[in-house]
Amino acid sequence: MIDQNSAAIGRFDKSFLVHMIKDFFLILVLVTIVEFSIKAALVYTNYATNGETEAGRVAGELSDNVRSIMRNEGGPVAARTMYPILETNWNDLGYEIAIVPAPVTIDSIEENFGFTPEGIPAGPWPEGRYKSFSEDIVAEPFCLACHTAADVGDVLGTVTVRNYLAKDFVLWFKDIQLSGGLAIGKILVHSVLLFLILRARMEPLIGLRAVVANLARAYGGLHHRAEIRTADEFGALARDLNQFLDRISRVIGELDVVLGRVVTVNDDIVRVQGDLRDRIDSVIGRLRKLERGAMVSAKGEPRLSQRWFEAARLSLQSRQEQDRDPDATAALLDELQEVIASAEAQIRNSEALFTDLADLGEESETLRDAMAEMTRLEERLKGIIETGTTLVQRVRPDASHVNSDAETPEKA
């Protein structure tokens, strides 16, 4: 796997086009090598199976050539000229040949033509692996005109042919030199043609790559669209990419609307929170003021205990027994009872007031806790708005109005 941050990504020498041309060139070279190797194998197989047969065929053709020369009246003289030509021609075809005259032929030529026939000497033979075939040239009636010492059916000479494996490979190598040069030229021409065809056919893909590269850049906009140039797979890919970008744009637009609504809701929460905070502060202030007033009032009119009233009543009863004035004592007791009843009523009212004040204080503390929780919710909502705004700006930099709306909670 290649690192996605590698600097090699996107370089021309790493492009698909260069890789395609390189692979095509190597494949053609490999195919050419395989073709030459198959030809070499066929040369060896043909030598192993048909080497001797080929040597026999050449020996037969060579014997026919000798007979054709002998049909002329000056055959022996013509043979001296034709034999070197035959040797050169068959050597060029990969065969080593020898034509050795028989003693009867030597005697007849020396007697009639005055020279010793040499034919094509049988040596020295080259070293190497070979297939050999020999064929005798038998005297026919027309041969007796020159070969006067021979009879029909006598052996006039022997044709020997050697088919060397090295000679076959030499011919194979010469063929490779010729066809190899043509193959290299063909490979170069095909590679150039393939480059031109691929460059023309890959223009839509290069356009798609440019669109994707623009989308991949940081804070790149979604307004880029691929141009549909062909009706093939590249055109279908460009169309699908454009449809995908349209869907993403619609989703981003909907997200933009949702973020706008969230910003509006956050503004309302901030406004309500401010009003509620003012009211809670006012209620708490008034409660604290009432509480302080009640405490001052309680300190100004201290509470008379029941034990004190019992002591006062016992003192009055004792006084009544001493003074023996029941009417005055009874009136005083009645007034004291009224004072006691009024004091107890005030005490009960004060206790009820203190209880209510305590309950209101607890409720105000609960409201304060609710305000703190609302403040935390506001902070979380503000974080969501900032995250969504950043996301929208990354995919669509032209969404500037979301950023301006998102600043509202911070100002609040």
pLDDT tens-place string over residues 105-126: 888 888 888 888 888 888 788 8
**Helix (H, G, I), strand (E, B), or coil: what is residue 132?**
strand
**Is the bond preceding residue 84 a cis peptide, omega within 30 degrees?**
no
Q: Which range, 1-5, 225-229, 315-319, is most confident?
A: 225-229
- Tell me: pLDDT of 138 over 60: yes
Q: Among the listed ranges 152-156, 181-185, 231-235, which one has the minimum average pLDDT value?
A: 231-235
pLDDT in tens, 207-256: 787 788 777 775 566 777 878 877 777 788 888 888 888 888 888 888 88
For 131, half-sphere exposure in the C-beta direction (CA atoms, 13 angstrom radius) is 20
Q: What is the pLDDT of residue 324?
A: 56
pLDDT in tens, 57-97: 988 988 888 888 877 656 777 777 888 888 888 888 888 99
- Tell me: pLDDT of 201 over 80: no
For 13, half-sphere exposure in the C-beta direction (CA atoms, 13 angstrom radius) is 2
- Tell me: pLDDT of 302 over 60: no
Contact 252, 392 (CB under 8 A): yes
The stretch 255-279 carries a mean pLDDT of: 77
Mean confidence (pLDDT) of the chain? 75
Distance CA(144)–CA(12), nearest Å, equals 83
Residue among 104, 194, 197, 227 nearest 158 (CA): 104
Q: What is the pLDDT of residue 120?
A: 87
- Tell me: pLDDT of 326 over 70: no
- Tell me: pLDDT of 13 over 80: no
pLDDT-derived band of residue 160, with 50, 70 and 90 as boundaries? Answer: very high
Q: What is the pLDDT of residue 362?
A: 67
pLDDT in tens, 21-50: 888 888 888 888 898 889 889 988 988 888
Residue 98 phi/psi, 5-degree rounding, is -145, 135
| Beta strands 130-138; 95-101: pairing state | unpaired
Helices (H), 217-305: 233-300
Distance CA(378)–CA(385), nearest Å, equals 10
The stretch 134-140 carries a mean pLDDT of: 88
- Tell me: pLDDT of 12 over 80: no
Q: What is the pLDDT of residue 404?
A: 46
Give CA 219 to chain center in angstroms. 23
Name beta bridge partners: 136: 158
pLDDT-derived band of residue 402, with 50, 70 and 90 as boundaries? Answer: very low
Residue 364 phi/psi, 5-degree rounding, is -65, -35
